[in-house]
């Protein structure tokens, strides 16, 4: 039987690539379980296998325990139940071995069961479980730190849109349905690649999570296909995707003699075509990178030609003007082109015709002109000059370097000083009025304590008549955008947080 044990350990260890010690421990647990079943009762058994010879010995053991509470005290609950078949009191145990401590074990040899068919069957489940745990631990260890890499394997099965792939070495990964390219046909036995998004240790199921929709997959594929990227001669500065349909990628050359776009396209488009084929025919636009945000946006809008561009640094947005004939091309089907360009550049983009851009510019100029005439108390001629020079707000007049205003041909020094003083007075009066308005109304406690709410913002809302969470829940994003420094994403989050009690009440009513 000892030789048979060694043979089992060698075979399983070799087949499953698991350490022999794990197999020995599994067999010991299985033999101990078989021994307990043979002798009956709630006994504790330990089996020790000699790793060199395969011989094994069996011991029955008792745990030495000491009560932590007075069991005679009826007012104090017992912390454990005493089991005489596998436990012994510390005082009784010390009568034979004085140096024993609580938590030690007393053992005595007992008859071992044979490692035959029954014992082997009992051991099988334990061994399988231990081997599976060891294999999973090895997979996690092998792939930990490799997040962000390109991985590939063979499709094992497709279940409810989720694709399970064999990466080799007993490693299995999953691409969830939402991470698959829409309408991509995948069958068992197909070879597939993806971006390793996460490695997570779980007791059951896959542990490696792969994506086919991540922009990083596009970057990884180009890195694989274009040697100049791996050599550091070309950098990929960003990527945006509409998976399975269209993508944009921005590239920059670190070597003046290398055309980054041409290198990524390849001879007769071979390189970009290889990437497109891997992504189920996804069409890829390769964009030359520019450190100038406006130029980068113009490049990203290709193939549409941008005729003019207005940059709003404060809102981090740009207005783009194109010919009316190219408007649909600039926007793209379902807004695809403008959306990808926005994702690639990180700017909010608004595309319009030249006529619409001119009308908007004139409206904004008229609005700024009216503000200057009203608040600075200047005539139309001065207001027009300020607008023509690019000034759009009272803040700019008050805080722009004085020399910039003096450089305006029509303005003399005394006019500049007067304009700046008036602008600062207007801002001071606005600040005083705002403080008085804030002091007059206080927000309700539920609004102040709402998740994501800041005290200053709560008082600003209260000054606008939004005093409670219920008041905030009734607002829309457009009305919230009137608050200085507010963006659409945050406005939406605040409103949905305020509306949370509505949904809770609906759920309770349905229940």
Angle at 238 between CA 235 and CA 241, to 5 degrees: 135
- From residue 496, alpha-carbon distances to 25, 369, 447, 493 in Å are 54, 38, 13, 5
- CA atoms of 143 and 200, how far apart (whole Å): 10
Q: In sequence order, what DSSP letters do the residues of 217-234 get, joined into one string?
A: HHHHHHHHH-HHHHTTSE
pTM of the model: 0.59
- Print the SS3 string covering 46-87: EEEECCCCCCEEEEEEEEEECCCCCCCCCCCCCCCCCCCCCE
The pLDDT value recorded for residue 241 is: 94
Distance (Å, whole) CA 192 – CA 417: 70
For 334-379, give the secondary structure using H, E and C: HHHHHHHHHHHHCCEEEEEEHHHHHHHHHHHHHHHHHHHHHHCCCC
- pLDDT the model gives residue 402: 84
Tell me how far apart the alpha carbons of residues 306 and 157 are, in angstroms, rounded to a whole number. Answer: 47
Which residue, 362, 358, 360, 363, is CA-closest to 307? 358
Backbone angles phi, psi at 413, to 5 degrees: -60, -40
DSSP state of 328: H
E strand map for 398-483:
none
Structure-token pair, residue 344: 């690639």
Compute how many other C-beta atoms are within 10 angstroms of the C-beta atom of residue 199: 18
Alpha carbon of residue 458 to chain centroid:
30
Q: Cα(204)–Cα(129) distance, rounded to whole angstroms?
A: 11
Question: How does pLDDT run along the chain (511 residues), one tens digit per residue?
Answer: 677 778 878 887 777 667 788 778 888 888 888 888 888 778 888 889 888 888 888 998 888 888 654 444 444 444 557 777 778 887 777 777 777 788 788 888 888 877 666 556 655 666 677 677 777 777 887 788 888 889 989 999 998 889 999 888 778 889 999 999 998 888 888 999 999 988 887 666 567 899 999 999 999 999 999 999 989 999 999 999 999 899 999 999 999 899 999 999 999 999 999 999 999 899 999 999 999 999 999 999 988 899 989 888 878 999 999 998 889 899 988 899 999 999 999 999 999 988 888 888 888 888 888 888 988 888 888 888 888 888 888 888 888 888 888 888 888 888 888 888 888 888 888 777 766 665 567 888 899 889 889 888 888 888 788 889 998 988 888 888 888 778 888 888 999 999 988 877 666 655 5
**pLDDT at position 68, please?**
58
pLDDT value, residue 222: 95
Predicted confidence at residue 69, as pLDDT, reads 40
pLDDT recorded at residue 199:
86
Residue 121: per-residue pLDDT: 62
40 in Cβ contact with 27 (< 8 Å)? no
Instruction: Tell the residue number behind the tokens 């997959």, with chain if given.
Output: 217
- Specify the pLDDT at position 176: 92
Domains parsed from the chain with CATH numbers = 2-138 (3.30.1480.10), 144-213 (2.40.50.140), 223-289 (3.30.300.20), 301-375 (3.30.300.20), 376-439 (1.10.150.20), 441-510 (1.10.150.20)
Which helix (H) or strand (E) element contains residue 308? strand 308-312
């Amino acid at each position: 039987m000892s030789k048979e044990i060694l043979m089992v350990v060698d075979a399983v260890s070799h087949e499953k690539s698991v350490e022999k010690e794990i197999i020995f421990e599994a067999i010991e647990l299985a033999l101990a379980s078989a021994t307990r079943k043979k002798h009956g009762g709630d006994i504790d058994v330990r089996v020790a296998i000699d790793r060199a010879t395969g011989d094994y010995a069996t011991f029955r053991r008792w745990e030495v325990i000491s009560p932590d509470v007075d069991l005679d005290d009826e007012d104090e609950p017992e912390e454990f139940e005493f089991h005489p078949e596998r436990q012994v009191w510390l005082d009784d145990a010390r009568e034979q071995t004085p140096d024993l401590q609580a938590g030690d074990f007393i053992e005595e040899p007992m008859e071992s069961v044979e490692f035959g068919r029954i014992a082997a069957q009992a051991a099988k489940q334990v061994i399988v479980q231990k081997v599976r745990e060891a294999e999973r631990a090895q997979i996690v260890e092998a792939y930990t730190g490799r997040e962000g890499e390109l991985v590939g394997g063979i499709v094992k099965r497709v279940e409810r849109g989720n694709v399970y792939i064999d990466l080799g070495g007993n490693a299995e990964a999953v691409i969830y349905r939402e991470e698959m390219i829409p309408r991509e046909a995948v069958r068992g036995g197909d070879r597939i690649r993806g971006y390793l998004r996460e490695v997570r240790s779980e007791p059951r199921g896959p542990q490696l999570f792969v994506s086919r929709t991540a922009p990083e997959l596009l970057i990884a594929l180009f890195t694989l296909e274009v040697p100049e990227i791996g050599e550091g001669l070309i950098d990929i500065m960003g990527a945006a995707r509409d998976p399975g349909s269209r993508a944009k990628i921005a590239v920059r050359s670190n070597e003046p003699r290398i055309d980054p776009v041409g290198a990524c396209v390849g001879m007769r488009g071979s390189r970009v075509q290889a990437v497109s084929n891997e992504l189920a025919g996804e069409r890829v636009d390769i964009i030359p990178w520019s450190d100038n945000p406006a130029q980068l946006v113009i490049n990203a809008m290709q193939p549409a030609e941008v005729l003019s561009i207005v940059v709003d640094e404060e809102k981090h947005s740009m207005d783009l003007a194109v010919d009316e004939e190219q408007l649909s091309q600039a926007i793209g089907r379902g807004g695809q082109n403008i959306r990808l360009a926005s994702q690639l550049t990180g700017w909010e983009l608004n595309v319009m015709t030249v006529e619409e851009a001119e009308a908007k510019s004139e409206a904004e100029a008229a609005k700024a002109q009216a503000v200057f005439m009203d608040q600075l108390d200047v005539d139309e001629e001065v207001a027009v000059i300020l607008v023509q020079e690019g000034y759009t707000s009272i803040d700019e007049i008050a805080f722009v370097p004085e020399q910039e205003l003096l450089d305006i041909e029509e303005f003399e020094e005394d006019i500049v000083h007067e304009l700046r003083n008036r602008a600062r007075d207007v801002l001071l009066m606005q600040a005083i009025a705002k403080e008085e308005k804030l002091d007059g109304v206080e927000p309700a406690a539920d609004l102040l304590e709402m998740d994501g709410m800041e005290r200053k913002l709560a008082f600003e809302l209260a000054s606008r008549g939004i005093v409670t969470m219920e008041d905030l829940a009734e607002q829309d994003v457009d009305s919230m955008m009137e608050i200085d420094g507010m963006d659409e994403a945050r406005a939406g989050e605040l409103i949905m947080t305020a509306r949370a009690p509505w949904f809770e009440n609906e759920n309770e009513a349905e229940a």
